[in-house]
Amino acid sequence: MTEAGSNRLERRKARTRSALVAAAQSFISAGRVNAPILEITQAADVGMGSFYNHFDSREDLFRVAVEEALDRYGATLDLLTRDLDDPAQAFTRSFRLSGRFHRLDPTLSKVLLNSWQTLVASDKGLAPRARRDIAAAAQAGRFEVRDLDMAMTIVAGSAVCLGQFLHEHPERDDATATDRVAQDLLRMFGLSAREAREIADLPLPVVEGLVLGAAVA
C-alpha cells in the first residue's frame, strides 16, 4: 500500500472510532448505558465489524467515551485557569465554569453526570483539579481543610447535585445558582462572606465566543 493509501486508511479508522465514541456519548447522555452494540453502530453509521476493530466490548467503548469527555473537560479547565496564581481563585473559577458548562455543553454535561461515579474517582476532569487546588489553598493558608477526602466528597456532591438541578430546572439561571453554591463552598473553607462573594463575582474568561460573567445576586 502506498503512503497516501495508508494515510487515507488511518484517517478512515480515526473517523470510525470518533463516530463510535460520539454515538456512545449520546447514549450515555440519554442514560442508555445498556444499549445493544448493533444500535450503537447504527447510530454511528458504521458496520458491526468496524466496532470490533476498535473496541472489545460495549463497556470498553463506554469507558473510552467517558474518559475522552473527561479529557476534553479537564483540558478546557486547564486552559481557562492557567492565568491564576491564587489556588482559591483557581478552585472557584473551575467550579463556576463547571456550573455554566451544563448549559453550554449539555451533552457533555449529561455524559459526566450519568457517569458521576467515574467522574468523582477519575484522575481526569474536575475532581483531580479540585483536589489539587483545595490542597494548594490549604497549604497557602487560604482554605481551612481538616480532611481533604471529606472536603472533596462535599465538593463533588455539590457539583453533581448542581448539574442535576440545572437540568431539571431549565428556568433557573445557571450563573446565579452556580455562584451561590461556590460562595457557600468558600465559606465552608473558612473565607469570610465578603471575600467569598468577591471571589465568586470575579469576571470569567471567554468560552466559545461567550463571556461568562458574574451572576447578578
89: CATH? 1.10.357.10
CA separation for the pair 195, 41 (Å, rounded): 51
Q: Tell me: do 22 and 115 sit in the same domain.
A: no
Is pLDDT at 211 greater than 50 in this prediction? Answer: no
Predicted confidence (pLDDT) at residue 2 exceeds the cutoff of 80: no
Same domain, 106 and 22: no
Most confident of 64-68, 127-131, 194-198: 194-198
CB 48 within 8 A of CB 82: no
Q: Which of 18-22, 113-117, 121-125 ranks highest by mean pLDDT?
A: 18-22
Task: State mean pLDDT over 121-146.
Answer: 89
pTM of the entire structure? 0.78
Distance separating alpha carbons of residues 120 and 118, to the nearest angstrom: 6
Same domain, 46 and 120: no
First to last CA, the chain: 64
Report the domain count for the chain: 2
**The three three-digit cell numbers of residue 71, written as one number:** 479529557
Domain that holds residue 175: 65-211
Q: What is the mean pLDDT of the chain?
A: 87
| Domain presence at residue 217 | no
Domain assignment present for 60: no
Tell me the pLDDT tens digit for each residue of 69-118: 888 888 888 888 989 999 999 999 999 999 998 888 887 788 778 777 76
Does one domain contain both 88 and 188?
A: yes
How far, in Å, CA of 155 to CA of 10, rounded? Answer: 42
Q: Is residue 51 domain-shared with residue 75, that is, in the same domain? A: no
Any domain includes 74: yes
Strands annotated E in the chain: 206-207, 210-211
Sort 136 into a burial class: Cβ within 10 Å, 0-12 / 13-18 / 19+.
middle
Q: State the amino acid at position 213 in one-letter form.
A: G
Q: In angstroms, rounded to a whole number, what is the distance separating the alpha carbons of residues 44 and 62?
A: 14
CATH number for the domain that contains residue 24: 1.10.10
Report whether pLDDT(67) > 70: yes
* Residues 27 and 70 reside in one and the same domain: no
Please identify, among 55, 76, 93, the residue that sits at the C-terminal boundary of a domain.
55
Q: Is 82 domain-assigned?
A: yes
Q: What is the mean pLDDT of residues 57-72?
A: 86
